[in-house]
């Protein structure tokens, strides 16, 4: 009865998958302590095939049971030397199957598992506590969690479809290449010495606490920044085919191999104390002057001079025929004295003709014809490897200067253009009343690179014909076009200038002028106080029509304080400036201060 109770307790403890339990059994006055430990268990889902093979390393001479998910199972025994166990199974179809691999005793541990190329879509190793090495490459895993495998030191999960991965902190080697990871934070894996995370979609890689890392492969990603300042043990760096603009390796004094080709690098800093075996920095955006500095600064170990620095590809540029492109600083380099740089150009893949398609003068380049050119600058003195000379290329799209000297729009602030505007119509007329003394002309070129000169903006109108000319000059500065507007200002009244303190015209007095706000209009001989003046006269009769205009001819509002003479007008709300006061048929200039 007591033994049955012990067996039952151990089975229950195994089901809970706990590492170690103490079971206390009291028989009479004697207490027996029994240790019960859970078995290692691995579960997975894969597709069936006619020959599924797995390799496991378990505790030597210990047994495991594999439940294949098709109502069959097999028992295997670990090898007597290293516990290697090769298991295999044949399925009748290619359906998905859920497989369980279980140690038959608490002291049977899974130390290494090789599940390579197995068409797995799910893998759970969280209960394989003794696992130290896991190979699960070239499957269809989308997630993987090894955070509970505290003894795991090497993980190869390359060639899957992982978008996330949960790691433990004990890893020494990690290969997660050829997945779909977008970020990877390894700041807690301080013992990591080897990392291959190439061929993912990484735009973020955190190596701030990985001082022990000596081998880093992060090529073929989307990295725009790579901070390696704290990776002081780094010897091998492979970061090609990313989007790096700068790379600072000044703190990595143990470097031997650097491959940073096919990026956007225009700055590469390498410690002068480094002696390299390899430097590949071709296909970036270095100028010849940058390569010259690198070549003279970087030292190579005896017997090694493996460097590729050529084929730099600068960003494409757009220029205009006749523009001068300054590459004069790239024209002469070399270790001993000056070595001239060879400038050559192709046009749509065909050699361009010097002094016909382009000119070169001490590094000053001028393209003479519109087309697409590839300019190549070559200097063999910058590198000792004749197979990889220092070559910098830049593509130029050269266009002719624009010849469009037309307007896209032409408007006036008063009146109407006749005929209606059209870019090909050059002559227009406008009729405005006598009261319009100023108006505004607005012109917009059809080509933003064309320039406009002449009569635009605010213009003064005189009685009769006023002729305004707008000149449009094309970008090429050789083609111009003139648009003409003839404005006819009608002559209907006589303008009277009133600038004195008091002006007496046709029996009317207007004061004060200038004014700060109040304006009085009074007849020279006013009627009796409180009575209206006689009719048919500016100094008598019914109140005349009163209008006020600004300098561009727009009518403005005013306040009439009285209805009998003398009339008082309030214009204090108006901005300071010149106004035109029309009283009956007479027009006066009034200054508001």
Is the CATH code 2.60.40 the one for domain 496-592?
A: yes
The values of phi and psi at residue 559, to 5°, are -115, 125
Calculate Rg over the CA atoms of the chain: 46
Torsion angle of C-alpha atoms 380, 384, 386, 392, degrees rounded to 10: -40
**pTM of the predicted model over 0.75:** no
The half-sphere exposure of 461 on its side-chain side, counting CA atoms within 13 A, is: 29
The values of phi and psi at residue 4, to 5°, are -65, -40
Band of pLDDT at residue 161, cut at 50, 70 and 90: very high
User: Of 5-9, 151-155, 447-451, which range is least confident?
Assistant: 5-9
Report which listed range, 3-17, 86-100, 381-395, is most confident: 86-100
Nearest to 301 by CA among 258, 261, 256: 256
Residue 305, pLDDT score: 60
CATH placement of domain 313-399: 2.60.40.10
Q: Which residues pair with 344 in a beta bridge?
A: 376
Quick one: what percent of the chain has pLDDT higher than 90? Answer: 55
How far apart, in whole angstroms, are the C-alpha atoms of residue 56 and residue 64? 10
What average pLDDT does this structure show over 62-67? 94
pLDDT at residue 533 tops 50: no
pLDDT at residue 404 tops 80: yes
CATH 2.60.40.10 in the chain, residues? 313-399
DSSP label at residue 348: T
Dihedral sign computed on CA atoms, order 207, 208, 209, 215: positive
3-state secondary structure of 189: coil
Residue 224, pLDDT score: 97
How far apart, in whole angstroms, are the C-alpha atoms of residue 76 and residue 65? 6
pLDDT digits (tens, 9 = 90+) for 184-236: 999 999 999 999 999 999 999 999 999 999 999 999 999 999 999 999 999 99
User: Of 137-141, 366-370, 565-569, which range is least confident?
Assistant: 565-569
How far apart, in whole angstroms, are the C-alpha atoms of residue 12 and residue 8? 6
pLDDT digits (tens, 9 = 90+) for 456-500: 998 888 888 999 999 999 999 999 999 999 999 987 644 444 443
pLDDT at residue 515 tops 90: no
Quick one: what percent of the chain has pLDDT higher than 70? Answer: 83
DSSP label at residue 566: S
CATH class of segment(s) 407-489: mainly beta
Token pair listed for 367: 């393209």
The half-sphere exposure of 553 on its side-chain side, counting CA atoms within 13 A, is: 19
Residue 6, pLDDT score: 28
The per-residue pLDDT of the chain, averaged, comes to 84
Token pair listed for 393: 């290329």
């Amino acid at each position: 009865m007591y033994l049955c109770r012990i067996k039952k307790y151990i089975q229950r403890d195994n089901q809970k998958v706990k590492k170690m339990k103490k079971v206390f059994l009291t028989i009479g006055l004697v207490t027996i302590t029994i240790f019960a430990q859970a078995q290692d268990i691995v579960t997975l889902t894969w597709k069936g095939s006619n020959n599924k093979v797995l390799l496991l390393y378990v505790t030597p001479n210990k047994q495991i049971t594999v439940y294949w998910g098709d109502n069959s199972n097999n028992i295997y025994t670990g090898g007597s030397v290293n516990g290697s166990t090769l298991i295999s199974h044949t399925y009748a179809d290619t359906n998905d199957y859920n497989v369980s691999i279980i140690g038959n005793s608490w002291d049977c541990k899974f130390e290494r598992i090789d599940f390579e190329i197995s068409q797995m879509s799910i893998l759970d190793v969280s209960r394989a506590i003794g696992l130290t090495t896991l190979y699960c490459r070239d499957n269809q895993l989308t997630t993987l969690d090894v955070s509970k495998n505290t003894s795991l030191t090497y993980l190869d999960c390359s060639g899957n479809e992982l978008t996330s991965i949960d790691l433990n902190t004990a890893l020494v080697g990690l290969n997660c290449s050829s997945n779909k990871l977008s970020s990877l934070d390894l700041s807690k894996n301080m013992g990591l010495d080897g990392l291959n995370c190439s061929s993912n979609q990484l735009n973020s890689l955190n190596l701030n606490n990985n001082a022990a890392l000596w081998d880093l492969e992060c090529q073929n990603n989307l990295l725009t920044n790579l901070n390696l300042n704290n990776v002081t043990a780094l010897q091998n760096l492979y970061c090609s085919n990313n989007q790096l603009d700068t790379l600072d390796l000044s703190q990595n004094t143990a470097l031997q191999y650097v491959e940073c080709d096919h990026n956007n690098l225009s700055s590469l800093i390498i410690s002068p104390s480094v002696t390299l075996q390899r430097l590949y920095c071709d296909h970036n955006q270095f100028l010849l002057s940058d390569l010259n500095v690198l070549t003279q600064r970087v030292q190579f170990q005896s017997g090694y001079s493996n460097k590729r620095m050529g084929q730099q590809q600068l960003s494409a540029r757009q220029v205009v025929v006749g523009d001068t492109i300054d590459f004069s600083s790239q024209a002469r380099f070399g270790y001993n004295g000056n070595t001239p740089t060879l400038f050559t150009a192709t046009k749509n893949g065909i050699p361009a003709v010097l002094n016909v398609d382009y000119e070169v003068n001490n590094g000053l380049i001028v393209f003479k014809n519109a087309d697409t050119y590839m300019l190549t600058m070559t200097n063999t003195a910058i590198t000792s490897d004749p197979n990889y000379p220092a070559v910098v290329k830049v593509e130029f799209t050269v266009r002719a200067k624009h010849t469009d000297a037309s307007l896209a729009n032409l408007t006036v602030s008063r009146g109407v253009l006749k005929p209606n505007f059209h870019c090909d119509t050059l002559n227009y007329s406008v009729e405005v009343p006598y009261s319009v003394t100023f108006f505004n002309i607005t012109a917009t070129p059809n080509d933003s690179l064309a320039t406009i000169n002449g009569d635009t903006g605010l213009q003064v109108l005189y009685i009769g014909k006023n002729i305004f000319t707008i000149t449009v000059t094309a970008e090429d500065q050789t083609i111009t076009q003139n648009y003409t507007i003839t404005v006819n200002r009608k002559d209907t009244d006589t303008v009277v200038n009133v600038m004195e303190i008091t002006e007496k015209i046709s029996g009317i007095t207007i004061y004060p002028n200038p004014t700060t706000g109040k304006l009085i209009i009074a007849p020279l001989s006013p009627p009796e106080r409180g009575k209206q003046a006689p009719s048919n006269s500016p100094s008598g009769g019914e109140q005349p029509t009163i209008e006020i205009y600004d300098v561009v001819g727009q009518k403005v509002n005013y306040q009439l304080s009285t209805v009998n003479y003398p009339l008082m007008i309030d214009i204090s709300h108006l901005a300071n400036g010149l106004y035109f006061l029309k009283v009956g048929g007479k027009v006066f200039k009034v200054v508001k201060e």
